[in-house]
Amino acid sequence: MEVVYILLLTIVASGFGTITGFGSSTIMVPILLMFYPLPETLLLAGILHWFNDAWKVILFRQSPLWKTILSFGIPGLIFGVVGAWLVLSIPQANLSRFLGTVLIGYFALISIKSDFKIPRNVLSAMIGGSLSGFIAGIFGIGGAMRGLFLTALNLPKETYLFTSGMVALFIDTSRLITYALGGTRLTPTLTWGLVLFIPASFLGAELAKMIVGKIPPEKFRLLVAFFLGAVGLRLLLFPL
């Protein structure tokens, strides 16, 4: 039953993460933490998040915005390692509440000023990549910060999802290697369960692609901002 529950959770989380460009770990981490230690939770959620990244890249493949991807991804990779090494040595509740406040503020801003955007330049991408990588390393949910910066660049929805997946592959690869080098391992049951969990993550992504195609472009950014606000409220009231 343990494997069945995680299988269903994977499908739901992967679908949600594909629609919004982030969020599969945001769903999985709090639930898995009720049953597994933090390092093991982050490793399992991180593996499935990595595959969800790959499905986004495959399903929404575009001409890559390499300047944005590299400017965002390389700092994200570096700070993802820093966050992953610090995950067991710093208090997380205050940082979690601060992140929640930022996400709620962004949702409020987009609701009031729907055409808000930040400059699409190297500096903006580097700041966004550094913050999302660091938060991903510590909490395993850096996608919310990545989503904030990438939606603020006002990219078309398919380009946003593809770019989000490419950047997340940089960050998730670095933190998964760091967790493994730090000695974190999955139980035998979870290891064998990956044989089912990984295809389930693709099923969730494929179903989500059908939904994304039906969302009007002008509504998509507000939808993502709404989910960012929901994540922010959860972090503010129930910090990790």
pLDDT tens, residue by residue, 56-100: 999 988 777 788 888 888 888 888 788 777 765 566 676 677 777
Crossing angle, helix 188-212 and helix 2-20, to 10 degrees?
30
pLDDT over 80 at 209, yes or no: yes
Q: How many CB atoms lie within 10 A of CB 8?
A: 12
Distance of alpha carbon 209 from alpha carbon 207, whole angstroms? 5
Token pair, residue 139, equals 């909490």
Q: Which of 38-47, 138-147, 154-163 has the lowest mean pLDDT?
A: 138-147
Q: Estimate to the nearest angstrom the gap between the alpha carbon of 195 and the chain centroid.
A: 22
Answer for the pair 131, 167: CB distance below 8 angstroms, yes or no. no
To the nearest 10°, report the CA torsion of 44, 135, 62, 121: -170
Mean pLDDT for the stretch of residues 45-51: 92
